[in-house]
Structure 1
Amino acid sequence: MDNFLAARSQMALSLGFHIIYACIGMVMPFFMAVSHYKWLRTNDEGYKNLTKAWSKGVAIFFATGAVSGTMLSFELGLLWPSFMEHAGPIFGMPFSLEGTAFFIEAIALGFFLYGWDRFNKWFHWFTGVVVGISGLASGILVVSANAWMNSPAGFDFVNGEYINIDPIKAMFNKAWFSQSLHMTLAAFAATGFAVAGVHAAMILQNKNVLFHSRAFKIAGFFGAVAAILQPLSGDISAKDVAERQPAKLAAMEAHYHTTRKAPLLIGGIPDPEKKEVSYAIELPGMLSFLAHGDINAEVKGLDQIPVEEHPPVPIVHYAFQVMVGIGVFLMALSITFFIALRKKQLLQRRWLLVLFAIAIPLGFIAVEAGWTVTEVGRQPWIIHGIMRTADAVTPMPGIAWSFYLFTLIYISLTVVVIFLLNRQIKMVPVLYDKSDK
């Protein structure tokens, strides 16, 4: 394995693990805050127990997210020194602010975990809300930095020099809103369905049914709302990518030839050599409509982009199809969930709980697929249109060994997290209702 492949593999591995920890860490505090609020309003001890149980999960993912995030920070400098030398002064502001948000989150989480029966009850609840808000801000700021790599702004690039640097303009680049919105909704959908699915599985086993039913409804509500809104953010993102990164859009849809009334492909196997796609279902004009709001609009294909600037089409296309396919399934399940809320007896139906249990990993698979589209679809650029990824990699030898070491660390960290979560689930308080008896 050469240095370039090893460096990219290590970064992909780190991001792949961190994004799961980060999503759960930034979303679960909101579940915790809702159950805490319900306890304060109803004085029902069941909600207090649920809040305490979820708070331990928040603490676990805060710790693992902090570890994996710190490792990523070091990797940026160690693996991509040329990139950081030039990009650091430009997009360093969101990273600095993210550090501030992280410290606020840490302080608020400490207050919340150790504040039971020590603070005013509403102040204690407020500290939990701050954990969620600061975690969410942290995630948005990091995505803003990534968006800058897709839509560089806040500087002039003249004769190989980065001049007239404006960090504010860099942070609020053209891609920051669409990427932040899409990632935030994805985090809520993935975490909501994963948490709801875990509690649905426990209900299916007839364990602590009242406790898990309450948790299922709260997490399911968040996940369902996010999944229903996600296609709207996807539409915003598609139009944004069509304008700024036509090569990425072409790779997502395996759109090899520039054409008007371009069809949207469902499935299909791209052939980069023949520049065609087999076995795809075509929806005429829909790609033109999604990209430009006009069914007859021209959509730029890969034939108008230099070959050396083509992303790896099959990887991007398959990842995009996986993301969209799972998104459609979760949206349909969300609509079913809201119908079930109106007809409460449906929430006890085994088939619905089974579907939620099946959905436990799906949201995170979609998140991973979406980040694959974002990162691989930008290739060969690390800063779109400015710096190639190959020109940013470190000349230091032995990166392959670093990749193997980090793989071992992340696998070990994941095993520890699974062990802690499994133990936590088994230790939930036993709340007896009629169905338990």
Structure 2
Amino acid sequence: MIEYSTEFLSRVQFAFTITFHGVFPTFNIGLGLFLVFWEAKYLYTKSEIYLKLCQFWSKIFALSFAMGVVSGVVLSYELGANFSGFTDFSGSVLGPLIMMETMSAFFLEAGFLGIMLFGWKKVSPKAHFFSTCMVALGTVISLLWIMSANSFMHTPAGFAIEGGRLIANSWLEVIFNPSYVLRSSHMLMASMISTSFVVMGISAYYFYKKRDVVYASASFLPALYVAAVLSIGQVILGDFVGIHVMEHQPVKTAAIEANWTTQSGAPLILFAIPDMVQEKNHFEIKIPKLASLINTHSFDGVLPGLDRVDKKDRPQVGMVFFSFRIMVGIGLLFVLLSFLGLFAIRKQRLVRHPILLKAYMFTIPLGFVATTCGWITSEVGRQPWVIYGLMRTRDAVSPIAVSHVALSLTVIFILYMSFLATYLFFIVKVIQKGPGHAEEEEVDALGYLIDAVGAERDS
């Protein structure tokens, strides 16, 4: 039975908030880089197609950027209010990393966003392109700082503990902690793949409706090539990440594989229902020795089991097990759809395959589902540690009343759902209007959301 404690509700609230927020920067990281590519093509070709394409996708970028800021500003308050033990213990190390993200990334994005959106006729083409590059660079820098802070929580390095608090001995080791490069690369690639399938899905919608097909072609093709290359690259990089996780967090690997007993030649469990009480799996479907091969590159390699630690030190196995498989399943689907698209383009049959076009439309949200499942695998798999090996989650929670957390969770849920409904309403309006009618004008929602951003920041 679930105990609705302060710890449980605080974790649910933070998980909901950061999951909701995380979709928007994930999308904008990839979209910012695509905008740089399309605007470079416009400067090189002087084609109005790329100009209108930039203006069209810039509107979607702006709406998503505003939503990311509005939904993300709450996170800092939640850390202070709900997890004061965590901020007190780690603030002197993680605080500067978050501050650097704001100072170097958010200010860079916000400083050039207005020029990128509304400066087409007010600044020179090269100055406008520079502003687009700065906005895109800001999204990437933001990712790198956030991933540094999060990776430190998984593989802490370069620190000491004095007076019951973390202090940095070496900022280079803190920033470039053992998992930082792999996890940052993995996330950057995930952002590009997720955004590629959004671009392809919306372009497929125009192909399907037989409208704006010139613009759809100009956006679909580069997104397809990026998806084809990176979806394969992500599989390869994921292998390195998996090996690294087994080295530094073997219990997480055991949970991913639902492996209860340390063993050599462990089978890959395709499906099961893990039972944490009985410490066994029900209804297993497995392939002999494949888990050992994947994780150790040897059929007889030793796969760590959950028996390595006490029950109190184990994560929620079912959640980690299934989230990982959803992520991998979507990733393999992306590989398949990428190469089906390349084949259809080569045979000049893409627009004559309505089923394939519908498949691309269906994939619009799937990249974010896969990315979210990846985060669930990573963060839930780290439990019961908020900073691995240093601080337990139960010790990070603030001593506040359950009713207060329940109230704030309810208010946040209602507000965020209203934000999402507004966002989707105006995104659909932009898509229905299409890139063929993209002009330099403010979408009604854009002014509303930018005003909201200002209000949130001022507060």
Contact 2:198 2:364 in 1 (8 A): yes
Aligned to 1:406: 412
2:342 maps to a residue whose letter is: F
**Corresponding residue to 1:235 among 236, 239, 246:** 239
> After the TM superposition, which residues 265-284 of structure 1 pair with which residues of structure 2 at under 5 Å, given as runs?
265-284=269-288
What residue in structure 2 maps to residue 148 of structure 1?
152
2:25 aligned to which of 18, 22, 27? 22
Which residue of the partner structure matches residue 420 of structure 1?
A: 426
How far apart are 1:121 and its partner, in Å? 1.6
CA distance in 1, matches of 2:146, 2:333: 28
- Offset of 1:6 from its aligned partner? 1.2
SS at match of 1:281: strand
Structure 1, unpaired ranges of 5+: 432-437
Of 307, 310, 313 in structure 1, the residue corresponding to residue 311 of structure 2 is 307
State which drifts further: 270-279 or 325-334: 270-279
Distance 2:161 2:240 in 1: 28
Find out whether 1:95 has 2:120 as its counterpart. Answer: no
Alpha-carbon distance in structure 1 between the residues aligned to 2:435 and 2:291: 51
TM-fit CA distance, 1:173: 0.8
Change in Cα spacing, 1:13 to 1:161, as seen in structure 2 (3 Å) is: closer
Q: Distance in 2 between matches of 1:281 and 1:108?
A: 53
Q: What one-letter code is carried by the residue in structure 1 that aligns with 2:18?
A: L
Alignment of 1:281-360 (within 5 A): 281-346=285-350, 348-360=352-364
Q: For 2:39, which of 36, 39, 58 is the aligned residue? A: 36
Q: State the secondary structure of the residue aligned to 1:360.
A: coil
Match of 1:209 among 189, 213, 224: 213
Q: Kindly state the Cα deviation for residue 348 of structure 1 after the two structures are TM-superposed.
A: 4.2
Name the residue aligned to 1:362.
Answer: 366
Other-structure match for 1:70: 73
* Counterpart check, 1:125 vs 2:129: yes
- Tell me how far 1:247 sits from its aligned partner: 0.8
Q: Distance in 2 between matches of 1:385 and 1:369?
A: 23
SS of the aligned residue for 1:277 comes to strand
Normalising by structure 2, we get a TM-score of 0.89
CA distance in 2 between partners of 1:225 and 1:92 (Å)? 36
- Give the Cα–Cα distance (whole angstroms) in 1 for the partners of residues 427 and 242 of structure 2: 36
Partner Cα distance (2:307, 2:131) in 1: 54
Give CA-to-partner distance per residue, 1:371-425, whole Å, 9 cap, x none. Answer: 1111111111111111111111111221111111111121111111101101111
Q: What is residue 445 of structure 2 aligned with on the other side?
A: none
Provide the rounded CA distance (Å) in 1 between the counterparts of 2:32 and 2:172.
29
CA RMSD of aligned residues (A): 1.8
- The whole-number CA distance in structure 1 between the counterparts of 2:33 and 2:295 is 34
| Structure 1 segment 168-179 matched on structure 2, within 5 A | 168-179=172-183
Preserved contact between residue 7 and residue 393 of structure 1 (Cα < 8 Å): yes
Q: Could you say what secondary structure the match of 1:344 adopts?
A: coil
Partner of 1:109: 113
1:83 corresponds to 2:89: no
3-state DSSP of counterpart to 2:282:
strand
Q: What residue in structure 2 maps to residue 435 of structure 1?
A: none
Distance 1:138 1:161 in 2: 26
**CA–CA distance in structure 1, aligned partners of residues 32 and 222 of structure 2:** 12
For residues 15 and 395 of structure 2, what CA distance do their matches in structure 1 show? 18
2:36, 2:129 within 8 Å by CA — same for their partners in 1? yes
Residue type of the partner of 1:358? F
Cα distance in 1 for partners of 2:163, 2:123 equals 59
Q: State the match for 1:56 in structure 2.
A: 59
Question: Structure 2: which amino acid aligns with 1:45?
Answer: E
Instruction: Name the residue aligned to 1:134.
Output: 138
Opposite residue 123 of structure 2, the aligned amino acid is F
Superposed CA deviations along residues 4-50 of structure 1, whole A, max 9, x for unmatched, are 11100110101111110111121111222222222222222111111
Q: Give the percent of matched residue pairs that are identical in Structure 1 and Structure 2.
A: 34
Hey, what does 1:380 align to over in structure 2?
384
- Does structure 2 conserve the Cα–Cα contact (< 8 Å) formed by 1:78 and 1:394? yes
Aligned length: 431
Q: Post-superposition shift, 1:203?
A: 1.8
* Greater displacement, 284-293 / 79-88: 284-293
Cα gap change, 1:167 to 1:374, in 2 (>3 Å): same
Q: Which residue, 250, 255, 261 being the options, matches 1:257? A: 261
Q: Which moved more, 1:32-41 or 1:170-179?
A: 32-41
- For the 8 Å contact 2:89–2:164, the answer to whether it is kept is no
The separation in 1 between residues aligned to 2:163 and 2:81, in whole angstroms, is: 26
Q: Which moved more, 1:228-237 or 1:105-114?
A: 105-114
Deviations 1:202-256 (A, max 9, x none): 3212232222232222333333332221111211110111011111111111011
Cα distance change of structure 1 residues 404 and 165 upon mapping to structure 2, 3 Å threshold: farther
Residue 54 (structure 1) shift: 0.5
Q: 1:163 Cα deviation (Å)?
A: 4.9
What CA deviation, in whole Å up to 9, does each residue of 1:279-322 have, x standing for no partner? 33323333223222333221110011111100010111011111
Unaligned runs of 5+ in 2: 438-459
CA contact (8 A) 1:18 1:65 kept: yes
Residues 122-145 of structure 1 show CA distances to partners (whole Å, capped at 9, x for unaligned) of 232122122112101101211221
Contact (CA 8 Å) 2:98, 2:149: kept in 1 or not? yes
